[in-house]
Amino acid sequence: MRSEGRSERRGARARRRGGRGASRRRFGSLGPALRLFALALATLVAGSCTGLPRQSWRGPAVAAEAWSPRLADGTRVRIRPLPFGAVRSQATLDYLRERTGEPALDSILFTPRMIVVHWTAIPTLRETWDAFAPELLPAGRPEIAAAGRVNVSAQFLVDRDGTIYQLLPETVVARHVIGLNQVAIGIENVGGPEAPLTPAQLDANQALVTHLVGKHPTIRHLIGHLEYREWEGSPLWRERDAAYRTEKSDPGAGFLAALRSRIAALGLDASPALPR
């Protein structure tokens, strides 16, 4: 038994030496402090890098410019298209035809005129993805189910740490705001009343809005989701059912005020003025 124990200890020492040797070969060119940091970072990344699913865009053909892999200030955007096959495409078109009362509509592409800022009221990035990913609206949303079968989504999603994900092209309609989907890019932020939006998300929203306004000169308005009903009767409003409304408080009045203060120089309107 003692000889077996000694053999096991010798084997364990050899394995440790082998592991240290591999680490030295990997990071040997670094100084001691950087080497320790690199080893810790490699361990962290290997153990926690889950992210969102990577898949190709399967929706309607769009120009390459409809995606923003990098913002004007250099900020990286992670492109993670939602599932968008024939079912979601047709359900989106059906939704637009029904909500606008225009059965002859034949496209789900649009020209952005507005940005609407949201919070998800879902605590994590992955849970938000899981909520948006089904092409059709899951059970459990009776307040909006009668208005159409296409699932909710948005063009952009901002995580708690400020990481920006693009889920849809900027010129493909998403279901995120009653009456204004056909003119509005949606920015969803992970968080809600129990998890107020973060300073990192504020920075990311500022950079993203600034980028989108520079890229799409037709964008002249920015609102919070809580303000959408102020646009009833405006030239941009397209909802034929006066009873189809929901109460909203996102993205929180404080966050919205802080964002508006930061982007004041862009000259975006918050009121339903005639489009310029």
- CATH number of the domain residue 234 falls in: 3.40.80.10
Same domain assignment for residues 126 and 240: yes
**Do 62 and 114 have their domain in common?**
yes
- Cα–Cα distance for residue pair 155/208, rounded to 1 Å: 12
* Same domain as 141, residue 9: no
Spatial neighbors of 201 by CB under 8 A, at least 6 apart, are 158, 159, 160, 162, 189, 190, 191, 255
Lowest mean pLDDT among 35-44, 58-67, 100-109: 35-44
- Residue 262 token pair: 């930061």
Lowest model confidence (mean pLDDT) among 44-58, 75-89, 211-225, 247-261 = 44-58
The number of domains in the chain is 2
Same domain, residue pair 27 and 96: no
The answer to whether residue 9 is domain-embedded is yes
In a domain, 274, yes or no: no
For 46-70, the pLDDT digits (tens) are 333 358 999 999 999 999 999 999 9
Does residue 26 share a domain with residue 61? no
- Indicate the pTM of the whole model: 0.82
CA 259 to chain centre: 17
Please report whether residue 272 resides in a domain: no
pLDDT at 261: 98
Rounded mean pLDDT of 211-216? 98
| pLDDT tier, 207 (very low <50, low <70, confident <90, very high otherwise) | very high
pLDDT of residue 273: 61
Give the pLDDT confidence of 129-173 residue by residue, as tens digits: 999 999 999 998 888 999 999 999 999 999 999 999 999 999 999
Are 36 and 163 part of one and the same domain? no
Shared domain check, 241 and 144: yes
**Is residue 276 situated within a structural domain?**
no
Confidence class for position 7, pLDDT limits 50, 70, 90: very low
Question: Could you tell me what percent of the chain has a pLDDT over 70?
Answer: 80
Does residue 275 lie in a domain region?
no
Is the pLDDT at 274 greater than 50, yes or no?
no
Domain range for 9 is: 2-46
203 compared with 4, residue with greater pLDDT: 203
40 with 65, same domain: the answer is no
Instruction: Measure Cα distances from 92 to 49, 81, 107, 114, 227 in Å.
Output: 33, 16, 9, 19, 23
Same domain, 40 and 132: no
CA distances to 23, 49, 112, 135, 245 from 43, rounded to whole Å, are: 11, 10, 43, 36, 49
Q: Are residues 9 and 120 in the same domain?
A: no
Mean pLDDT over each residue of the chain, to the nearest integer: 86
